[in-house]
Chain A
Amino acid sequence: MHQRVLAASVGIAALALALTVVLLAQVPAAAQAPKAATPAATKPAPATKAAPAAKAWTVPRTPEGVPDLQGYWTNNSYTPLERPNGVTKEFYTLEELRQVEKKNAEREEEQTTPGTVADVHYDFTQFGLDRSQTRLADNLRTSVITNPENGKLPPVTPEGQKRAADRAAERKKQGAQYDQVQNIPIGSRCVWMNAGPPMMPPGYNPAYQIVQSPGYVTILVEMLHETRVIPTDGRPHAPAGVRSWMGDPKGHWEGDTLVVETTNFNDKVAFRGASENMKVTERFTRTSDDAIRYEFTVDDPSTWERAWKGEMPFVKIGGPIFEHACNEGNYGIANTLAGARKEEKKAAEEAAKKISTK
């Protein structure tokens, strides 16, 4: 993650980054208000703290009559996918959550101060890369994973373990990280930044825009200008040979919930070690003017012994989303590789000098 930030986008992309985050930072005042209520809203119904069904809220609808999910959203969060070791409860109190947020924000900010971490290239604060500068989608959960109930990924199957070992061996075979562009993490290469599904918050710019048209729900992801165009007309999945990073999403409405089932991933996505057989089922439910409840199930018997589930809120932010032209401004890769070649040359020269002076 850290490397990604370093290697990607030093020039034009940085400008774009700065701009977007500035834009996003202008959270509508109204959206700020119900902050305290939000975490509770994401809690499952059977939880002890009752859901605030205080005033009768009705879901807005698009002109064609389906629930209206449109607008700008974020799932910005410090909540980890898996429950940290040592934490045993499912939910923090609000005070505890604020503590966690504060600690994380401080850790991020440290990166700003030269000397505190090994390689500070960006000023996180200046470029708005601190998550705490954007609106957080508060979540009282101690982990995104809700099932298994321990908040951890299920055990990996023998097949999954073998695949992980094979992948590691293959990576090793390819040489060191900066030997060739293909060895550099995929995000730094502007190929893929885990836009999902499932849609986990990225390190920065966790911004989304949802636009609906008859028969479609479209989600624009700021990072890498990814777009998920989800048909809701009941058509079947693409043929098995059609593989892609974002997979092939097909949606339908169950009551007021948008259910999206995605298959046809390629074997390079490898979300948490998954295979190309992964199936992700997502559920988007608008729970208030300000929030969407996002639940997902990951099903991949060739990787995990059982399916697992996660949940997080999306909350409103101000728009617009600006172009993230990552590849186009990716000076980082060329500079990093050129640097590596230079260092090798220097090392070789020094070695030669040593030999000759002996």
Chain B
Amino acid sequence: MRARFLGPMMIAAAALLEAAPAPPQAPAQAPAYRAPRTKDGKPNLNGIWQAVNEANWDLEGHGAAPGPFWQLGAEFSVPPGMGIVEGGPIPYKPEALQKRKANFANRMNLDPEIKCYLPGVPRAMYMPYPFQIVQSTDPIMMVFEYAGAVRTVYMKKQPAPADSWMGWSNGRWEGETLVIDTTDFNDLSWFDRSGNFHSDALHVVERITALAPNHLNYEATIEDPKVFTRPWKISMPLYRRIEKNAQVLEFKCVEFAEDFIYGALRKVPLK
């Protein structure tokens, strides 16, 4: 299982490292990238990172499509994406697939992103906004531009006090890889704008490995026996924002969502 995922990853690593196109070499022989180290000897994942893909529209492979709001025309149409789900469609249980379809049909009312709600995991990782990894020995923080969301990854295991949007994350190092085990989600966040969803039984195991100085490989195994028939996996690269002045800015979107949420309750209705 694991070896299968290492294959493409290493090919990519080799391609990134070498100036010339990578020679057709067996993946297993490619030297794995060794990340620079923090002073306490761990792979240094500090930096501002961002996904560059279309997963926030739909995790699964999809063609271009008109957006759910025609008034914005091409600006808000669905850009096509190859998908980040490995090996076929998301294995929904039949009744869950029904709910996913209902979510999609009502996405302009239900998608938590419209309301500026916390994005949950793994969605936070591929929103079209940067996030910063602030890596101390313990904890490792992830600070997201979207909605100012935050994740605290406890490197000394701690139990979750209660369910939450971003879940409760315990991390550990496995060689070059930061492994994050996240549980105790509520059932309110979605995976994307297409209504892909989960229950409060969601369990996400993420593996983050540096591929090159400016790239991380991100994989997550998603398990939720209430919604899916089996665990499934996503993978994608994350890109370091390399502008000299790169910075996670403030996107306090509550303000931008209030008329959507509360507009009907205005004393003087909006036109």
Contacts and interface: CB of A to CB of B under 8 A. Distances in A.
A adjacent to B, CB under 8 Å: yes
Interface of A: 214-215, 238-244, 266
Contacts of B63: 241-244, 266
A338 B82 CA distance: 40
A101 to B, nearest CB: 40
Interface of B: 21, 60-64, 80-83, 88-89
A328 to B, nearest CB: 12
A354 B257 CA distance: 55
- Chain A binding site: helix, strand, loop or mixed by DSSP? loop
Given A215-B21, A241-B89, 5 more contacts: A238-B61, A238-B82, A239-B83, A241-B60, A242-B63
Nearest to B89: A241
A241 B80 CA distance: 10
Among A214, A238, A241, A243: residue with most chain B CB under 10 A:
A241
- Chain B binding site: helix, strand, loop or mixed by DSSP? loop
Contact of A242 (B21, B83, B88): B83
B82 to A, nearest CB: 6
A239 B64 contact: no
A243 B63 CA distance: 5
Contacts of A240: 61
19 contacts: A214-B21, A238-B61, A239-B60, A239-B61, A239-B82, A239-B83, A240-B61, A241-B60, A241-B61, A241-B62, A241-B63, A241-B83, A241-B89, A242-B62, A242-B63, A243-B63, A244-B63, A244-B64, A244-B80
Contacts of B88: 239
A243 B58 CA distance: 14
A264 to B, nearest CB: 8
A232 to B, nearest CB: 13
A242 B84 CA distance: 12
A343 B31 CA distance: 73
A214 B20 CA distance: 12
A242 B64 CA distance: 8
Contacts of A214: 21
A235 to B, nearest CB: 11
Nearest to A266: B63
Contacts of B80: 242, 244
A240 B87 CA distance: 11
Contacts of B83: 239, 241-242
B90 to A, nearest CB: 11
Nearest to A233: B21
Contacts of A241: 60-63, 83, 89
Nearest to A264: B63
Nearest to B87: A239
Nearest to B82: A238
A266 B80 CA distance: 13
Nearest to B80: A242
- A-B complex: 8 closest residue pairs judged by Cβ atoms: A239-B61, A243-B63, A241-B61, A242-B61, A241-B62, A244-B63, A239-B83, A242-B63
